């Protein structure tokens, strides 16, 4: 799978509040599907599908433990996204610097 494909998968997996909330929960540690589903008003199959989407994007792995499927957070795709976004950092930094310069001007001229 190309980087482009991985970014597609990661970005679209993250483009849903329920899926982001699942990742937030997983930041605290492994959890079963039912545990992950509990906070939501959705049906279990719906959550199960969201989990599948996260898994396909590499943001989550599943481990079988008796009747449970323990889910773990995988951060690699997040690193990849940050890496991608950071290519634009010079631009937003430039803007910030410009604003900074403006503030300096205001200080110097007293308006």
Total residues binding a second copy (CB under 8 A): 28
Contact status: 56 vs a second copy (CB under 8 A): no
Q: Which region among 38-46, 74-82, 84-92, 95-103 touches DNA (by CB under 7 A)?
A: 38-46
Contact status: 43 vs DNA (CB under 7 A): yes
Contact status: 50 vs DNA (CB under 7 A): yes
Side-chain half-sphere CA neighbours of 31 within 13 A:
19
Contact status: 4 vs a second copy (CB under 8 A): yes
């Amino acid at each position: 799978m190309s980087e482009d494909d991985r970014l597609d998968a990661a970005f679209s997996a993250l483009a849903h509040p329920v899926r982001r909330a699942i990742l937030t929960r997983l930041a605290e540690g492994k959890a079963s599907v039912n545990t992950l589903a509990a906070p939501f008003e959705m049906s279990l199959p719906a959550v199960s599908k969201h989990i599948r989407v996260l898994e396909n994007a590499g943001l989550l792995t599943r481990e079988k433990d008796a009747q449970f499927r323990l889910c773990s957070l995988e951060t690699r795709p997040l690193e990849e996204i940050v890496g991608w976004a950071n290519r634009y950092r010079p631009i937003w930094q430039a803007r910030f610097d410009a604003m900074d310069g403006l503030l300096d001007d205001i200080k110097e001229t007293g308006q």
